[in-house]
Structure 1
Amino acid sequence: MTSQLGWLGLGALLMLFTNGSGMVPILVWFAPAAWLIYLDRGGHWLQLPFLLAANVLVNFVVWRGIIPAPGLLYYLIAGIYALVYFLPFVAHRLLAAGKPSFAATLVFPAAWVALEFVFQRWVTPYGSWASFAYTQADSLPVIQLASIGGIAGLSFLMTWLASVIAWCMRSEPGPQRRLRGVLVGGFVLLAALAFGHIRLAQPVDDGEVLRVAGLAPDILLDQEVGRVVNEVRSGAALSPERMRRLERAAERLNADLLERTRIEARAGARLVAWSETAARLLKSDQEPFLARLASLAQEEGIYVLAAMGVWNPGGQPLLENKVVALDPAGRVAFEFHKARPIVGAESMLIEAGDGKIGELQIEGARLGLVICHDLDFPGFLRQASNADLDLLVAPSNDWPLIAKLHADMAKMRAVENGVTLFRPTSGGKSIAVDGKGRSLAVVDHPANTIVAFLPVNGNRTIHGIIGESFSWLCVFALLAMFGITIVSKRRES
């Protein structure tokens, strides 16, 4: 019993470093193994309740400052995530614990991918947050696996190797079978790394290159607007005097964005994109502002992706979170509304868009556009592959504690779909990466301008073609394993 609790405690300690702001990438590969060993070394009825309690406590700590929810709501959301990611361990306990066959190592990863897929696709409104795959974003050879199986393929590899470690720690296999298990696990890992290195051997700039610039609002001007908005959020009336203050502050912010856009155009940028809701304006001021923007695009001969937050006091929706795309002739090419507003923080204020990626032909390349949280939904981003996009632009807005993690999540969409990604971000990390996740440019907050030379030659990936097939395979495999186990037990009885 004491030995078992030691593995439980070790697992809890390691799991504290598997996600969130204190994540240590290498530990993510080993952390689940400790809890699998704990489950393999005994059958007392408190095993699973102890494990659930440990996982709940871990999640309470890991997601602090990252889940933007107050008070008890934070603990409710973190607790739900803890319960979901506890279920693969339950599947292991029911289907694999004590089984001497090496095939039993497949139960835990199949359960992990299947349950994560179902949860992220149909249950949580927050997309693919918490996936283990994102923890490896800095290891380029490893994440190339996402071009085949998506984040599900990488999560499967990581959890399967943890399962192999736990299997090798059992007493049943014996030295020879244990050695074979180590060799099989090592071979699969080396094969994955070899695939990654081969894929990365292709040069970064092997096609047409487009100079682009991304702009976030000036911090001081942004704070000036924010002070007025926060007064209203705190209950102050939107009086005529306060409305005038808001309009004046917004005009200064917007004028600065227009001037900086002109500066980047004259420096050579063919495309200028603003971060999420960079411009702020009232609905009544939208047409005059767009006319100024169109004149700028036409005068400088550039494409502009103007991300803006449009207030509509007394109307519905109260706020529009959108991007207006203008071509060098000053024409509006499309208007894209955020497809996946954050439930709670945004969903009460804005209406979701039509769910179709904004598309634009730019100098022989196909450009697509989404906004921030849209990138957290791999299924939604399949449109990038289906449309054969060469470049994906994603204006975003973050806060310091999630800056790196959210940028890493965005990078994975580029690898999955083989598309160059440009992500101008306010309050976080602005990045430009190619279709293999290689960094082309990066700028951290509080810097508010990013310039990059982007290859615009998208490459179809296996994942882009087969989509979520691997996740579905894991779902069916898990159901089949449960079915076989139930039938076997009935025959035995």
Structure 2
Amino acid sequence: MLGTRERRREGEGKGEARGRGPERGERTARARPAGRWLWGAGTVLLVLAVHGNWHLASAAWLFPVFLLRYSRLRPARRGLLRVGCALGLAQLVWLTSTGMVFVPSVLAVFAVLAVVQTLPFAADRLVAARSGSVWSTLVYPVVLVCGEYLFTQLADFGDYGVLGFTQHGFLPLVQLASVTGVYGVSFVVAWTASVAHWAWGRGFRWREIRRGALVWAGVLALVLGAGGVRLVCCAPTTDTVRVAGISAGRAAERATERALRTAGQELWRPRNLVRADPRRVRPALAPVADDLVAATDREARAGARIVVWPETQAGVLADGQQRLLGRVSEIARKRQVYVNTAFALYTPRPPYVRNVAALVTPEGKVAWTYDKTHPTPMEPMTPGKGAVPVTGSPYGRLATVICYDADFPGLMRQAADRDTALIMVPANDWAGFESLHAQRAVFRSVEYGYAMVRQSVHGVATAVDHQGRIRGMADYFTADRQTLVSEMPVRPRTDTLYSRTGDLFALLCAGGTLLVVALGVRGRRARAGVPGAGDDRP
């Protein structure tokens, strides 16, 4: 028996030396029956893991285990193609659930994302499978993070597709973002799956996996322990300010919608609206704006010192902007409150609309007028200049961006660089997408150490402190009038290592990916019989 076992191990070792991997015999014997359920289980878990309103955080830890196993047990081309199909299917399900499946540019971008997400599996199959070392478990997470980072930098579509966002509720782990950004969370989740797959390939025999399991457990304990310490020892200050996020009530929205329908045809199109008779358009737009002004006064009288409007719920013609801001200025002076207004500003020149936020100070002055830097693919408007406005206040420095802007870490870093204590984010979401942005906002606050109030009409409005704790929440779809009131700790801002070093961790993973590519090329040359390649013998 002992001799048979030794001969079997010797044969496996020769197989590894020839570049066939330690699991070739197992792959040949069990590929067909194993492939069906491995791919099916991995795909189902993947669909549940994609960051949507219905996602399961635990599924993000599990789906790579099954898909990694599947790709190892199948011939490389066929296995990786089917893994890519699973990733593409998950993206399609996500696009359908969010209503963006009908936007051609979005479809194209997410098709590219599915290809990028396949690359870590390819690296594991073609490089890591050649080694039995525990260090081979780093291949999958390193390439995954590199792909996430490059997609964020090159696609100009925000940081969608990042695995770490699925863990927004796991606060001890989320604190890692203050050091590495959200990419570190992606790494931990992916590495855990890679280690589990590595242990599975060795039958979970403790003697063989002990060293690797202890290394992984030690790192995870360090990460979670440090996160727990940060939550306890860097708790938010008790020096707070009352902030109110307001949205116009449903009755006002319906009144404006009815008036626009009767004022002319397709007035929801900016070009048609600005060309229509202003005497009919102004009364049609008035109900929402009037409701927001009244709500501003109501919340200021109730004790709010900062009021935040939602994105583009209010609309105003260009010649009516000063009148609207004048009405808000009277309230700001009288109640001594900061009001971050936001509205669609209709202009006579193409593209006929601007997406604007304007801060009115307690002195009745307009501190800034900010145009949205990153319009979504569904917004036909000219982008703003990309400069995040910041101003001082008794409650710490205040800043603003608008909705989709918060998905771009580089833009959000501007606020941290100028020591922002509270960033206000007017937003406008939709059914099927109502929770996603609110959950992603958790990471921006942890990464940069500032509090955030994200007032989202047609979505979930959220107030988050610098540790990612939810200080307030209001769901538009569960109330006739969405109002978010929270006591926000805003002074002083908590500095973070990530705000100083930026995407250093992601860049290190990019460097690690180059090393993986070099190892893959070297192994390929060795298998092709190039003299001296991949062979340390004389």
Shorter-chain TM-score: which interval? over 0.9
**Counterpart residue number, 1:200:** 231
Task: Indicate whether 1:330 and 2:361 are aligned.
Answer: no
Contact 2:245 2:308 (C-alpha < 8 Å) held by counterparts:
yes
Change in 2 beyond 3 A, CA 1:238/1:269: closer
Aligned match of 1:387 in 393, 418, 422?
418
Residue aligned with 2:399, SS: strand
Change in 2 beyond 3 A, CA 1:173/1:22: closer
Contact 1:18 1:135 (C-alpha < 8 Å) held by counterparts:
yes
**Counterpart residue number, 1:231:** 266
Aligned length: 488
The worse-fitting range, judged by mean Cα deviation, of 483-492 and 90-99 is 483-492
**Counterpart residue number, 2:355:** 321
Q: Which amino acid counterpart does residue 50 of structure 1 have in structure 2?
A: R
**Counterpart residue number, 1:119:** 151
Alignment deviations for residues 409-438 of structure 1 (CA, whole Å, 9 cap, x no partner): 011100111111111110111111110011
Residue aligned with 1:80, SS: helix
Task: Indicate whether 1:433 and 2:464 are aligned.
Answer: yes
**Counterpart residue number, 1:177:** 208
Alignment deviations for residues 144-187 of structure 1 (CA, whole Å, 9 cap, x no partner): 11111111000011001111111111149964131322222222
Deviation of 1:281 (Å): 0.6
Residue aligned with 1:395, SS: strand
Cα distance in 1, alignment partners of residues 305 and 355 from structure 2: 24
**Counterpart residue number, 1:468:** 503
Residue aligned with 1:458, SS: coil
Contact 2:241 2:395 (C-alpha < 8 Å) held by counterparts:
no
Change in 2 beyond 3 A, CA 1:204/1:223: farther
Change in 2 beyond 3 A, CA 1:60/1:220: same
Q: Which amino acid counterpart does residue 303 of structure 1 have in structure 2?
A: Y
Cα distance in 1, alignment partners of residues 84 and 214 from structure 2: 32
TM-score, normalised on structure 1? 0.93
Larger Rg: 2
Deviation of 1:131 (Å): 1.5
Q: Which amino acid counterpart does residue 364 of structure 2 have in structure 1?
A: G
Contact 1:105 1:164 (C-alpha < 8 Å) held by counterparts:
yes
Q: Which amino acid counterpart does residue 153 of structure 2 have in structure 1?
A: R
Deviation of 1:74 (Å): 6.0
Aligned match of 1:191 in 222, 234, 238?
222
Cα distance in 2, alignment partners of residues 375 and 437 from structure 1: 15
Deviation of 1:72 (Å): 6.0
Alignment deviations for residues 39-73 of structure 1 (CA, whole Å, 9 cap, x no partner): 22243542222222222222222331325241766
Unaligned runs of 5+ residues in structure 1 are: none
Residue aligned with 2:241, SS: strand
Task: Indicate whether 1:153 and 2:184 are aligned.
Answer: yes
**Counterpart residue number, 2:429:** 398
**Counterpart residue number, 1:454:** 488
**Counterpart residue number, 2:376:** 342
Contact 1:39 1:97 (C-alpha < 8 Å) held by counterparts:
no
Cα distance in 1, alignment partners of residues 273 and 359 from structure 2: 31
Alignment deviations for residues 337-386 of structure 1 (CA, whole Å, 9 cap, x no partner): 1111112x11x2x2211111111111051111111101111122112321
Change in 2 beyond 3 A, CA 1:78/1:267: same
Contact 1:40 1:170 (C-alpha < 8 Å) held by counterparts:
no
Change in 2 beyond 3 A, CA 1:53/1:190: same
**Counterpart residue number, 1:369:** 400
Deviation of 1:245 (Å): 3.9
**Counterpart residue number, 1:219:** 250
Cα distance in 1, alignment partners of residues 272 and 342 from structure 2: 27
The worse-fitting range, judged by mean Cα deviation, of 366-375 and 234-243 is 234-243
Task: Indicate whether 1:308 and 2:343 are aligned.
Answer: yes
**Counterpart residue number, 1:37:** 69
Task: Indicate whether 1:485 and 2:520 are aligned.
Answer: yes
Aligned match of 1:87 in 119, 139, 144?
119
Cα distance in 2, alignment partners of residues 45 and 158 from structure 1: 26
Give percent identity, aligned residues only: 30
Aligned match of 2:90 in 50, 55, 58?
58
Task: Indicate whether 1:108 and 2:140 are aligned.
Answer: yes
Residue aligned with 2:185, SS: helix
TM-score, normalised on structure 2? 0.86
**Counterpart residue number, 1:408:** 439
Residue aligned with 1:277, SS: coil
Alignment deviations for residues 254-300 of structure 1 (CA, whole Å, 9 cap, x no partner): 12211211111111111111111232110111122222222221222
Cα distance in 1, alignment partners of residues 334 and 341 from structure 2: 16
Contact 1:430 1:450 (C-alpha < 8 Å) held by counterparts:
yes
Q: Which amino acid counterpart does residue 189 of structure 1 have in structure 2?
A: L
Cα distance in 2, alignment partners of residues 238 and 458 from structure 1: 43
Residue aligned with 1:278, SS: coil
Change in 2 beyond 3 A, CA 1:488/1:391: same
Alignment of 1:278-293 (within 5 A): 278-293=313-328
Aligned match of 2:390 in 328, 344, 359?
359
Unaligned runs of 5+ residues in structure 2 are: 1-31, 531-538
Change in 2 beyond 3 A, CA 1:188/1:235: closer
The worse-fitting range, judged by mean Cα deviation, of 179-188 and 426-435 is 179-188
Task: Indicate whether 1:260 and 2:310 are aligned.
Answer: no
Q: Which amino acid counterpart does residue 513 of structure 2 have in structure 1?
A: L
**Counterpart residue number, 1:442:** 473
Alignment deviations for residues 206-242 of structure 1 (CA, whole Å, 9 cap, x no partner): 2421111111122222233345278235799659876
Cα distance in 2, alignment partners of residues 146 and 255 from structure 1: 41
Cα distance in 2, alignment partners of residues 103 and 325 from structure 1: 52
Residue aligned with 2:181, SS: helix
Cα distance in 2, alignment partners of residues 134 and 310 from structure 1: 33
The worse-fitting range, judged by mean Cα deviation, of 261-270 and 110-119 is 261-270
**Counterpart residue number, 2:16:** none
Q: Which amino acid counterpart does residue 122 of structure 2 have in structure 1?
A: V
Cα distance in 2, alignment partners of residues 462 and 148 from structure 1: 5
Change in 2 beyond 3 A, CA 1:244/1:47: same
Contact 2:145 2:509 (C-alpha < 8 Å) held by counterparts:
yes
Deviation of 1:76 (Å): 3.9
Task: Indicate whether 1:295 and 2:330 are aligned.
Answer: yes
**Counterpart residue number, 1:420:** 451
Task: Indicate whether 1:23 and 2:26 are aligned.
Answer: no
Q: Which amino acid counterpart does residue 488 of structure 2 have in structure 1?
A: L
Cα distance in 2, alignment partners of residues 417 and 385 from structure 1: 6
Contact 1:22 1:62 (C-alpha < 8 Å) held by counterparts:
no
**Counterpart residue number, 2:533:** none
